[in-house]
Amino acid sequence: MNFDTKLPKEFRYTIVRRKPGMGFDIRGCLDWNHSSFIFLKNDKDVIIRIRKGKELIGQLAIKTGIDHLENGNTYPLLEAWIYCFAIKPEYRKQGLGSKLLRRAEKYIKENCPCNCIKLHAQKEFENKLIPFYIDHGYYFIDIDPVCKNEPVFFKAIESVH
């Protein structure tokens, strides 16, 4: 498998960080033409985007490190979650999704004390996403009843922390 994260020169990565607890819209969670509201809960949670000029081509969100309970206490997570992973339809099948996923894995390994990455295959796209995730070293582990019975995938990693 090719582990290259370098984009063609007309594209670039951007990393969006927010103060913990700030939420914002993220495009393409279920449909590229609609956005979803998400929260970044700590300073390691980020959005990684691919842009071509000012045009948003793809993005994903990463939840890592520390999670906050309703009572204000925190607890460490030994896993990272990738979610809201989407590539604009006209840019699919060009390797950009693979590069974005590998860039996210690199970020997690370098910035988070995690030993695994988990993600969902959205029900609406699971026939395309399941082979994609398996090809990238992820294993099916469960069905998540909280998230519309979506399949959950897992990949062990070695963090540099």
pLDDT of residue 155: 94
Q: Which of 28 and 147 is assigned the larger pLDDT?
A: 147
pLDDT reading at 34 higher than 70 = no
Question: 151 pLDDT exceeds 80?
Answer: yes
Closest-CA residue to 23 (of 1, 6, 45)? 45
pLDDT tier, 67 (very low <50, low <70, confident <90, very high otherwise): low
Q: Name the pLDDT band for 36 (thresholds 50, 70, 90).
A: low
Q: Is 64 left (phi over 0), alpha (psi -120 to 50) or beta?
A: beta
pLDDT digits (tens, 9 = 90+) for 130-150: 899 999 999 998 887 777 778
Instruction: Using a pLDDT cut of 90, give the percent of the chain over it.
Output: 27
- List, as one string, the DSSP characters of 114-158: -SEEEEE--GGGHHHHHHHHHHTT-EEEEEETTTTTEEEEEEE--
